Amino acid sequence: MRVDLAYYGRSGLKDNVLGLAPNLCREAVAFDGVLKDPVRFREAISALHEVVVSDLRFKRRDKAAYEEWKRGERGRLRVVRREAVAQARLDNDEKYGVSRDLRHRYTAARKTYWKARRSYANYLLRHDRALWRKLMPCDPVVTVAPDVVFFECFSADESSYASLTVDASGFGNAGGMQPGTTNVDYSWELFDGFSALRSYRETRLLVDPTGFEARTRDASAVREEEIDLPDGWLRGFMQLQSAMTLPMRRVPLSRETVYGILAVLKRRRAKESPRALRFELVPGEPPAVVLEPWEQRIVSEQTRYDGPGGAPVRIWGRRRLLVLARLLPLMDRCDVYLLGDGLPSFWVAHMGDMRFTLGLSGWTTNDWTRGSALDLLAPPVEPSPEVMNRVAEFLQRERAATLDEVRVQCLCGEDLATAALNRLAHTGQVIGDLAAQTYRWRQIMPRAVGESEMGPESPELVAARVLFASGAVRISRRETLEDGRTLVIGRVKKYEVEVLLDRDGVIKRAKSTDRHHHRFGLRAGPSRYILAVRMAAQNEPTAKSGVSAWYRKLRGWTQKL
């Protein structure tokens, strides 16, 4: 998906004014207010910065010098091969026509481009951070609302979402407000400006609207950019956004408990699975968090869990929580919102008139081993266009509303209202404010984002869902091995499948008689038959019921029986 950006000037700190240059291709947004506590804001916005630049994907050793030597030695052969391949492709196009494989070649080219771009970005991160910043997927988003101003970002590795919300009470002498959402020019100079905030001098936060006037008066001063968002980045962002609108279990944790979790993660690194955080929740009792595989148990003695009991809830990708370390001196308490095993979790740090929300996908990388779990929580059918339009128009007019207000004003039940809000969030138009239990109108892009713009899902994953939902999977053997891994043997249609899962549910080894696996193995991801067997082994639910049954099931998981 292509996104147009245009900025007048640069964001930064000048004369104690923290000016943010808004995107001139979006709606006009303005804000001008004095920060009451610049130091607290500095620490919170710096934590947001860590999420913006975070990338915990595996990085290989830097072999730039060695690769340069190899390229010099093999230069002549490379040129010969390139010319031969180019001639072969030209002959093939003349023989079969370009349109026959245009889509396939376009997809392959995009994969090659993004693989090379990520490799180049990793190199620049170590050698040229200013140039590396220009390769970040998208600038952060700022939303000005009558009661709050909040900043949002999504990490480069497509696994972490962060939002910093500042209440209106956190500003003094606020004026010139024009509600709306826009991108802001983000640079290392702006981050240096954040770091320079001090409590002994007054600092204004300014979302500067003058660029909208300057664009027509002095077009040469406007810096325009066009970026091509990677498909996985945009889809992951929208998935986390839609997850924030679903019913979740709320687990209150004290600051000391969060410190204990971070201290263990900082000191120790697991060398074997499972590597999960396990929440043990008993109604009316202090919640306990267990760090696996060490079985380190941390109990939040100062808080009480008031939700339903049941089996422990496990989440993965926990090292991303180290972003919260900088916020510990400011934190009053932390609320964790859980969707279920291996599903996204949201950590809301309360800091007086500020709130920092850290959303974590089920895994540190949105890989193919768990890609279907969150999609299966989506409503089984979409609400009617009439309901969608009523909810969208109401929120666009009111800017923020609770679920009850949406239900009453739009003349629909909680199930339809929740499904409509989930769908609007998936298209980037609504965000759930977990701490305030409200839904806000916020367009992450200038228009609603369609499925085609997010890029196609893996065809193997889509086909695996169909196979699993149709009952085509037959499990003949399931065995837990001595090391905790699970061996699953089954049959899907005419294909025999064998899958070995580790204690985190990741596919470690697989065998299948289908053509995809015979050709690629696991290098291109598991085949549809292997994925279908994994779904059946983990007993993932199917979406065969209507909206009412879907909502009752979600609601029942978050309320006491």
Are residues 360 and 397 part of one domain? Answer: no
The predicted-structure confidence for 135-168, as pLDDT tens digits, reads as follows 555 667 888 888 899 888 888 777 888 999 999 8
Distance of CA 153 to CAs 247, 381, 496, Å? 23, 29, 44
Are residues 350 and 255 part of one domain? Answer: yes
- Percent of the chain exceeding pLDDT 90 equals 24
CATH number assigned to the domain comprising residue 389: 1.10.10.10
- Tell me whether residue 58 is in a domain: no
CATH number assigned to the domain comprising residue 468: 3.10.450
In this predicted structure, the answer to whether residue 469 has a pLDDT above a threshold of 60 is: yes
CATH number assigned to the domain comprising residue 245: 3.10.150.10
Neighbours of 544 (CB within 10 A): 9
Are residues 463 and 450 part of one domain? Answer: no
Cα 61 vs. chain centroid, distance in angstroms? 27
- Tell me whether residue 501 is in a domain: yes
CB 512, CB 496: distance < 8 Å:
yes
CB 208, CB 58: distance < 8 Å:
no
* Single residue among 356, 377, 398 that ends a domain in this structure: 377
Are residues 314 and 249 part of one domain? Answer: yes
- Tell me whether residue 187 is in a domain: no
Are residues 511 and 389 part of one domain? Answer: no
The predicted-structure confidence for 129-140, as pLDDT tens digits, reads as follows 656 555 555 667
* Single residue among 454, 473, 501 that ends a domain in this structure: 454
Are residues 333 and 249 part of one domain? Answer: yes
Looking at the structure of the chain, the number of domains it has is 3
Task: Give the closest residue to 45 by CA, choosing from 370, 330, 316.
Answer: 330
Maximum Cα–Cα distance for the chain, whole Å? 74
Are residues 241 and 368 part of one domain? Answer: yes
CA 322 – CA 425 distance, rounded (Å): 27
Are residues 356 and 274 part of one domain? Answer: yes
Coil, helix or strand for 152? strand
CA 355 – CA 166 distance, rounded (Å): 7
- Tell me whether residue 363 is in a domain: yes
- Tell me whether residue 323 is in a domain: yes
Sign, CA dihedral 322-323-326-328, equals: negative
Q: What is the mean pLDDT of residues 524-535?
A: 84
Q: What is the mean pLDDT of residues 509-535?
A: 84
CB 255, CB 352: distance < 8 Å:
no
Listed in sequence order, the residues at least 6 apart from 424 whose beta carbon sits closer than 8 Å to its beta carbon are 388, 391, 392, 395, 430
Q: Tell me whether strands 148-154 and 160-167 are parallel, antiparallel or unpaired.
A: antiparallel
- On the 0-12 / 13-18 / 19+ scale of CB atoms within 10 A, 232 is middle
CA angle (384, 389, 392) in 5-degree steps:
125
In this predicted structure, the answer to whether residue 546 has a pLDDT above a threshold of 50 is: yes
List the single range of 28-42, 74-88, 112-126, 501-515 with lowest mean pLDDT. Answer: 112-126
- Tell me whether residue 481 is in a domain: yes
Residue given tokens 């470690």 in the structure block: 508
- Domain holding 269, by residue range, is 236-377
For the whole model, what pTM was predicted? 0.73
- Tell me whether residue 465 is in a domain: yes
Listed in sequence order, the residues at least 6 apart from 263 whose beta carbon sits closer than 8 Å to its beta carbon are none
Cα 18 vs. chain centroid, distance in angstroms? 27
* Single residue among 411, 433, 454 that ends a domain in this structure: 454
